[in-house]
A and B are shown apart, each in its own frame.
Chain A
Amino acid sequence: MKNESKSKAKSEAANVPFAFRAYSPEQLRDVLRKMYLIRRFEEGAEDSYTRGLIHGTMHLSIGQEASALGICMPLNGDDQITSTHRGHGHCIAKGAQVDRMFAEFFGKTTGYCKGRGGSMHIADVSQGNLGANGIVAGGIPIAVGAALSAKMQKNGKVVICFFGDGANNEGAFHESLNMASIWKLPVVFVCENNGYGMSTSTARSTAVANIADRAAGYSMPGVIVDGNNFSAVAEASSAAIERARRGEGPTLIESKTYRHRGHSKSDRNRYRTKEEIDEWKELRDPIALFESELRQFGILNDAGIEEVRASVEKEIADAIQFAKDSPMPNTGAVLDYVYTELPQ
């Protein structure tokens, strides 16, 4: 009898997704808030770009929100990440403020990089985000270096290394995985596989069926997750982070997802079909999926969801206003930050 009820409780728990067992309702509500925040931040950035308030280009991660949040959820505040050109979501998930992000996109002194970096170099070092990167795979060895620091300094930090599917064909990827593995460094490699590196599908660019298959070549676990399912991503991330923290070395997580928008502002979407894009938007939107789980497991009802949504609208509007009102850098100070110090 006793045994029976125990196993029943166990099987029930098994039907409840990881996130709904591991996190409190407040935490789950905050995950939803951050998902909206990423999406509305990027829509706001897109809109500001169209109005000529932002120049250059940008790479939107709309459709990939669950991946950024699921990966970052199990991290401690002082753990670190390296990010990519598609890095707005990572930045927000790691704790950045959207007002300072908008300010950066507007080229203002109050921006995270004081107007020097823009979208492609967005960072928030105070929260452990060592920066987005304009070079495909450029951040991968840097993450491994940060993990080497953590090991040498014995500070218990873990480093998350985000990159795209396209990056897995750069030499830096292969060299980095090998070194992380031989030295058992506390790093988690996270490939956000959105199916394409610019116009080139993984089928055309990559010799293995799954990026996670590459892990075998470097003697580390390779894990595939549904990148649009927050809970699945958080579960995989949590296991990999724990393993890294125990000193057992790196893991390669492949988070399968999709970007709703084009690669960048200049993409004409000639390499994929409208049907494919619509299918991902309509059937596999990570935010819609998470909302329905929140309802299903009794965390939030429609009114609660609406409340979160409204709070984000205000946060975004205020952040854009902050960016607009912030000062432009002075051209006389253009050489600031090139060096820390120069002999006179």
Chain B
Amino acid sequence: MNSAVRELTYSQAIQEAMAIALESDPRVFLMGEDIGVYGGAFQVTGDLVERFGTDRVIDMPISELGGAGLAVGAAMTGMRPIFEFQFSDFATLAMEQIVNQAAKMRFMLGGEVSVPLVMRFPAGSGTGAAAQHSQSLEAWLAHVPGLKVIQPATPHDAKGLLLAAVQDPDPVMIFEHKLLYKVKGPVPEGHYTVPIGKAEIRRTGRDATIVATSIMVQKSLEAAEILQTEGIDVEIVDLRTIRPIDRETVINSVKKTTRLLCVYEAVKTLGIGAEISAMVAESEAFDYLDAPIMRLGGADSPIPYNPELEKAVVPQVPDIVAGIRNLVQGRR
């Protein structure tokens, strides 16, 4: 392919993906709160309403449960909705339709229907929006068979994974970290997809593996630079999809480095890190381990408003550096 690559922000990349989907597939429409003239709470839909009109960029009332259900129904009957939650926290209002309906519909009807639905969830802390607007709830949805759950960490992947999600015949839930929206990175022009279910090695190394998700990929890369100056060479696996997990990439990396640290922003307890740890412990990689598997995740706390407290409850670069040092130097 000879398509040009430009620097775009994460949110521009998502907007471009939605524009391509709207242009190329008449079944695609967008629905959400304030996604029209307002441009979306995080300006991700931007001016798409001007380009595609109010029939395809639909501002809905503040009715998450009903709106999500409409999207499920439309998806079952020939449309390809891309549904935006204003904040991922409001998924809780729509859980019924996501968990009991979208996820299970195909199964319950014996494969007679599919639900090609995309839902986008602005997630995560760091904006001072306090406990009800800062959560990372992706593991909740990843617990539900029938859903696919992805967490793009770069503008490139945000676009490619969204375009893959639109083509996917099953419901795909996309968690977008709000602090990533303004992050820039190279994004090819035109249509391309990034495969759902495939992790990406962001940095190769030999001493330890970090399996990270979303914004923690960026933080882990920063930590790796610091650790490199101390002679510790870290490999970073960007999980990208948390359901289904790319088992092979994770296990091969751990077999190579013999140490594993899982890093994620969501509450550590009962989270994705527990799943990765157990998966590795149950696999042939277990015999290769030179240290216990460790996890770094959010504290067992709602996200506080005060900015210092807010930072204290999610992993920061120094925590990752310390976590890897402990893992590696434990043996030395």
User: A residues near B, CB below 8 A?
Assistant: 55-57, 107, 113, 115-118, 120-121, 133-138, 166-167, 169-171, 197-200, 204-206, 266-268, 270-271, 328-329, 331, 334-335, 338
Selected from A118, A138, A167, A334, the residue in CB contact (under 8 A) with B128 is: A118
Task: Decide: B131 and A329 in contact? CB cutoff 8 A.
Answer: no
Task: Decide: B306 and A197 in contact? CB cutoff 8 A.
Answer: no
Task: Decide: B129 and A199 in contact? CB cutoff 8 A.
Answer: no
Smallest CB separation, B70 vs chain A (Å): 13
Task: Decide: A170 and B132 in contact? CB cutoff 8 A.
Answer: no
Smallest CB separation, B51 vs chain A (Å): 16
Q: Lowest 3 CB-CB distances: which A-B pairs, in order?
A: A56-B128, A118-B305, A134-B132
Taken together as a complex, chains A and B put the C-alpha atoms of A120 and B132 apart, in Å, by: 9
Selected from A56, A137, A197, A335, the residue in CB contact (under 8 A) with B305 is: A56
Also in contact, A56 and B302, with CB within 8 A (given A135-B90, A198-B33, A205-B62)? no
Q: How many residues of B contact A (CB 8 A)?
A: 36
Task: Decide: B63 and A169 in contact? CB cutoff 8 A.
Answer: yes
**Of B191-199, B289-297, B308-316, B323-331, which binds chain A?**
B308-316
Smallest CB separation, A51 vs chain B (Å): 15
Considering only residues 1-49 of chain B, those with a C-beta below 8 Å from chain A are 33-34, 36-39, 41
Taken together as a complex, chains A and B put the C-alpha atoms of A57 and B128 apart, in Å, by: 7
Also in contact, A116 and B306, with CB within 8 A (given A56-B128, A334-B312)? yes
User: B36 to chain A: which residues have CB within 8 Å?
Assistant: 199
Smallest CB separation, A80 vs chain B (Å): 20
Task: Decide: A170 and B90 in contact? CB cutoff 8 A.
Answer: no
Task: Decide: B132 and A206 in contact? CB cutoff 8 A.
Answer: no
Give chain A's interface secondary structure class: loop
Task: Decide: B128 and A338 in contact? CB cutoff 8 A.
Answer: no
Also in contact, A338 and B306, with CB within 8 A (given A135-B90, A271-B38)? no
Task: Decide: A107 and B307 in contact? CB cutoff 8 A.
Answer: yes
Task: Decide: B62 and A197 in contact? CB cutoff 8 A.
Answer: yes
Residue of B nearest to A328 (CB): B308
Interface residue? B225 (CB, 8 A): no
6 residue pairs of the A-B complex, CB under 8 angstroms, read A55-B307, A115-B304, A120-B132, A134-B130, A198-B34, A199-B34
Task: Decide: B305 and A338 in contact? CB cutoff 8 A.
Answer: no
Task: Decide: B59 and A335 in contact? CB cutoff 8 A.
Answer: no
Interface residue? B203 (CB, 8 A): no
Task: Decide: B37 and A121 in contact? CB cutoff 8 A.
Answer: no
Smallest CB separation, A321 vs chain B (Å): 19
Smallest CB separation, B313 vs chain A (Å): 6
User: A169 to chain B: which residues have CB within 8 Å?
Assistant: 61-63
